[in-house]
């Protein structure tokens, strides 16, 4: 079994996700950087948990939950949606795993959910993720470019990256080749294993 694994979100992840989503580091790179009140998260989790299966997945390293990815705005009729991902426990995460999260999310979308198209939105200030998208040669969808207002009143532009089914195999192969060699086999093995409960 690989040191890297994926599992479905469980009820007991409620406050772990809140801590992760509410951390300053994650909020800084999120579309909405406002702090998330505990009661708002509790209400959101209670309401959405029944539909989270295959939409939000916990990523584990060496048996410890370290991050997640999510499939959002999914449209069954067009088999399209958006993906997002984040590391929640950077101190327990090997170097390179955060850069590989888009591969896990997109593999989930295209191989498990049979997606036709996926969009990833990245703030301009998120230099690391934008660099990853460039190295993967993910096409930019200029029509979906946007600007979001930040908590401090400033604005940040948003780049939309589009992955279509025909381009996914190339992006996946490129992504795997760019992973640190110490992680590559774990990713290959993880992608071949089912997502656990």
168 sits in which H/E element: helix 168-178
Output the pLDDT for position 94. 96
Q: Name the band, by pLDDT with cuts 50, 70 and 90, for residue 1.
A: low
44 sits in which H/E element: helix 38-48
Q: Name the band, by pLDDT with cuts 50, 70 and 90, for residue 176.
A: very high
The 10 Å Cβ neighbour count of residue 4 is: 23
**Do the beta carbons of residue 65 and residue 90 sit within 8 Å?**
no
Quote the longest CA-to-CA distance of the chain: 47
Residue 67 sits at φ, ψ, to 5 deg, of 180, -170
Both tokens assigned to 100: 């590989």
Average pLDDT of the residues of the chain: 96
pTM: 0.95
> Which CATH code fits 4-192?
3.40.630.30
Tell me the C-alpha distance between 37 and 51, whole Å.
22
Q: pLDDT tens digits, residue range 80-117?
A: 999 999 999 999 999 999 999 999 999 999 999 999 99
State mean pLDDT over 131-136. Answer: 96
Please provide the distance, in angstroms rounded to a whole number, between the alpha carbons at the two ends of the chain: 15
Output the pLDDT for position 86. 97
Q: pLDDT tens digits, residue range 20-70?
A: 999 999 999 999 999 999 999 999 999 999 999 999 999 999 999 999 999
pLDDT exceeds 70 at position 180: yes
The 10 Å Cβ neighbour count of residue 196 is: 11
**% the chain with pLDDT above 90:** 99
pLDDT exceeds 70 at position 78: yes
Tell me the C-alpha distance between 22 and 108, whole Å.
25
Output the pLDDT for position 103. 97
Q: Name the band, by pLDDT with cuts 50, 70 and 90, for residue 2.
A: confident
**% the chain with pLDDT above 70:** 99
């Amino acid at each position: 079994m690989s040191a890297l694994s994926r599992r479905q979100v469980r009820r007991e992840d409620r406050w772990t996700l809140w801590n992760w989503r509410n951390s300053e580091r994650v909020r800084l790179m999120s579309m909405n950087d406002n702090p998330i009140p505990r009661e708002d998260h509790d209400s959101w989790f209670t309401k959405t948990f029944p539909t989270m299966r295959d939409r939000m997945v916990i990523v584990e390293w060496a048996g410890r939950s370290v991050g997640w990815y999510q499939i959002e705005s999914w449209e069954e009729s067009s088999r399209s949606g958006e993906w997002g991902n984040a590391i929640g426990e950077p101190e327990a995460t090997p170097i390179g795993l955060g850069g590989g999260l888009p591969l896990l999310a997109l593999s989930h979308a295209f191989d498990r959910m049979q997606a036709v198209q996926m969009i990833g939105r990245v703030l301009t200030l998120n230099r690391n993720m934008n660099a990853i998208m460039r190295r993967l040669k993910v096409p930019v969808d200029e029509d979906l470019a946007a600007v979001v207002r930040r908590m401090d009143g400033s604005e940040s532009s948003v780049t939309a990256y589009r992955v279509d089914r025909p381009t996914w195999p190339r992006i996946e192969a490129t992504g795997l080749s760019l992973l640190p060699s110490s992680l590559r086999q774990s990713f290959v093995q993880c992608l071949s294993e089912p997502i656990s409960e």
